[in-house]
Amino acid sequence: QVQLVESGGGLVQAGGSLRLSCAASGSIFSINAMGWYRQAPGKQRELVAAITSGGSTNYADSVKGRFTISRDNAKNTVYLQMNSLKPEDTAVYYCNGDVTYYSDNSDRKKRDDYWGQGTQVTVSS
């Protein structure tokens, strides 16, 4: 009932910037925390950045000072601004949302964790 659609990935040179977007759609009551994760080849998936419904943020140490997470609650959208990109940032980036939504077109609410399909970010040296 809820879908997260990502956009903004691509190929960029080291030192460049990209902005990722993730828009949630469906019978959404509220979105609690949202976050961005990434997974590089041969590596474990890791949390990159997270933001609460109230706007509190936290970041992985590896991206602090370079990445900024933000959200537009009216649009059910979360963004990740990535600056000063490094080759080690190359990964598939996944959007995640802790979503409370209306089930079966009713007033019954459920809360589930949803993932986007992933978007490739490649940083060349």
Residue 12 above 90 pLDDT? Answer: yes
**CB 25, CB 2: distance < 8 Å:** yes
At residue 104, the pLDDT reads 84
At residue 105, the pLDDT reads 77
116-120: long-range pairs with CB below 8 Å, 24+: 116/4, 116/5, 116/6, 116/22, 117/4, 117/5, 117/6, 118/6, 118/92, 118/93, 118/94, 119/6, 119/7, 119/8, 119/9, 119/20, 119/92, 119/93, 120/9, 120/10, 120/92, 120/93
At residue 28, the pLDDT reads 95
Please tell me which residue, 104 or 29, carries the higher pLDDT value.
29
At residue 73, the pLDDT reads 92
- Determine the Cα–Cα distance for residues 118 and 122; give it in Å rounded to an integer: 13
The model's pLDDT over 96-124, given as tens digits with 9 standing for 90+, comes to: 999 999 998 788 999 999 999 999 999 99
The model's pLDDT over 40-90, given as tens digits with 9 standing for 90+, comes to: 999 999 999 999 999 999 999 999 999 999 999 999 999 999 999 999 999
At residue 89, the pLDDT reads 98
Specify whether the backbone of 11 is left (phi greater than 0), alpha (psi in -120 to 50) or beta.
beta
